[in-house]
Amino acid sequence: ATPAATMIGTSIGATNGVLFKGGDVLERVRDVDTVVFDKTGTLTEGEMTLTDVVALDRSAAADGGDPAGETRADGGGAVATAEGDESATLADPETDLLYAAASAESGSEHPLAEAIVDGAEERSLDLATPDDFENVPGKGVRATVDGREVLVGNPGLFEERGIAVDAAAEARDRLEREGKTAMLVAIDGRLAGVLATADTVKESAKRAVAGVQERGKTVRMLTGDNERTARAVADELGIPAENVSAEVLPGEKADAVESIQSDGSRAMMVGDGVNDAPALAAAYVGAAIGSGTDVAIEAADVTLMRDDPEDVLKAVNISDATLRKIK
């Protein structure tokens, strides 16, 4: 492209909240044939809300029996609150489960942790400060709460520690098919229940996916979240199941991008988090979205200033239009 075309494209971008970092970026954006979206915070709002608290009967849990009780946190039957008789409250399995998990999570800054803590506080639970808190990236947390060892996270975390998760299979299945993120909770080395959070798909994410596909480009989704939740969200957005990579650990996102590009594809990776920075750097074009972290913006070639995945189309349009006209 001529310097003039580059200048025009870059400045049109800037007035539209699309910052191209350097002149060659416009040309690379034009040549992108695959757009890889991070799920959480990019295609979804990234604001998780606690929706379900499922306590498993500890005796039944051993032989894979039915859940002891279940509470939908979103309206339905209410979780007992801390008001009233305290010993009765602690005897309630859902309340105790949420209390233990939320206390452990209060040491974490992960969006899932914040959803659990907020959910507990909304139910007037007084949380404990966890001892020897341990964060396991991409998997969950472990902490001691009132002398009890509490583990919250995904099946990978539980396998790692030899805790059987079969008794939670049914609840997990159902919650994940609803597009929710299910998290297992163990207390003192035994599976105690399942918590679920839901995130909302951004309205503009559907238009972004459709628009990119209409331009003949492949849309893919990358996430650390589990397979079923990822598929439910992808389905809602019109992303084919075979284009979804789930359960990708934070350190593996860059490898995943490289593997997508190993057939010669030129990928634009769109992400927001600290976890996404290496993947943004590995992609043919890295695009940081919205109020993304500084680390992500640093690693990116393009910054989409507004928190809007549809601005991917804007970036593509600007690069197409300016490079075509002035060539």
Contacting residues toward Mg ion, per CB under 5 A? 40, 273
User: Tokens for 27?
Assistant: 């040309």
Instruction: Give me the residues paired with residue 271 across strands.
Output: 288
**Any contact of residue 245 with ligand ADP (CB under 6 A)?**
no
Which of 24, 31, 38, 173 is catalytic? The answer is 38
For residue 192, give the H/E element and its range.
strand 190-198
User: Tokens for 137?
Assistant: 């990236």
**Any contact of residue 139 with ligand ADP (CB under 6 A)?**
yes
Footprint of ligand ADP on 169-188 (CB under 6 A):
181, 183
At 264, the amino acid letter reads G
**Any contact of residue 138 with ligand ADP (CB under 6 A)?**
yes
- Distance of closest approach, residue 247 Cβ to Mg ion, in angstroms: 13
Piece of 10-18, 104-112, 204-212, 233-241 that binds ligand ADP (CB under 6 A): 104-112
Tell me the number of residues near ligand ADP by CB under 6 A: 22
Could you say which of 10, 51, 108, 197 contacts ligand ADP (CB under 6 A)?
108
Secondary structure E strands in 39-88: 49-56, 67-72
**Any contact of residue 113 with ligand ADP (CB under 6 A)?**
yes
- Distance of closest approach, residue 103 Cβ to ligand ADP, in angstroms: 13
**Any contact of residue 35 with ligand ADP (CB under 6 A)?**
no
- Distance of closest approach, residue 205 Cβ to ligand ADP, in angstroms: 15
- Distance of closest approach, residue 273 Cβ to Mg ion, in angstroms: 4
Q: Are 282 and 265 in contact (CB under 8 A)?
A: no
Could you say which of 9, 67, 119, 140 contacts ligand ADP (CB under 6 A)?
140
Instruction: Give whichever of 17 and 250 is closer to ligand ADP, judged by the CB atom.
Output: 250
DSSP one-letter string for 256-273: HHHHHHTTS--EEEEE-S
- CA dist 207 and 212 (Å) reads 8
**Any contact of residue 154 with ligand ADP (CB under 6 A)?**
yes
Is 38 a catalytic site residue? yes
Which of the listed partners (ligand ADP, Mg ion, none) does 36 bind, with a CB threshold of 5 to 8 Å by partner kind?
none
Q: What 3-state class would DSSP assign to 99?
A: helix
- Distance of closest approach, residue 195 Cβ to ligand ADP, in angstroms: 8
Instruction: Give whichever of 1 and 248 is closer to ligand ADP, judged by the CB atom.
Output: 248
- CA dist 132 and 158 (Å) reads 18
**Any contact of residue 250 with ligand ADP (CB under 6 A)?**
yes
At 188, the amino acid letter reads D
Instruction: Give me the residues paired with residue 142 across strands.
Output: 134, 151
- Distance of closest approach, residue 65 Cβ to ligand ADP, in angstroms: 24
Piece of 19-27, 62-70, 132-140, 294-302 that binds ligand ADP (CB under 6 A): 132-140
Q: Are 106 and 130 in contact (CB under 8 A)?
A: yes
Instruction: Give whichever of 140 and 193 is closer to Mg ion, judged by the CB atom.
Output: 140
Q: Are 37 and 256 in contact (CB under 8 A)?
A: no
C-alpha distances out from residue 293 to 7, 34, 189, 274, 296, Å: 27, 23, 36, 6, 5
The set of long-range contacts for 118-125, using a CB threshold of 8 Å and a minimum separation of 24, is 118/49, 118/50, 119/49, 119/50, 119/73, 119/197, 120/50, 123/73, 123/78, 123/79, 123/81, 123/82, 123/95, 123/98, 124/81, 124/82, 124/83, 125/81, 125/82, 125/95, 125/98, 125/99
Which of the listed partners (ligand ADP, Mg ion, none) does 138 bind, with a CB threshold of 5 to 8 Å by partner kind?
ligand ADP
Instruction: Give whichever of 225 and 307 is closer to ligand ADP, judged by the CB atom.
Output: 225
Q: Annotated active-site positions, please?
A: 38
Contacts with ligand ADP, residue ranges (CB under 6 A)? 39-40, 105, 108, 110, 112-113, 138-141, 152-154, 181, 183, 223-225, 250, 273, 275
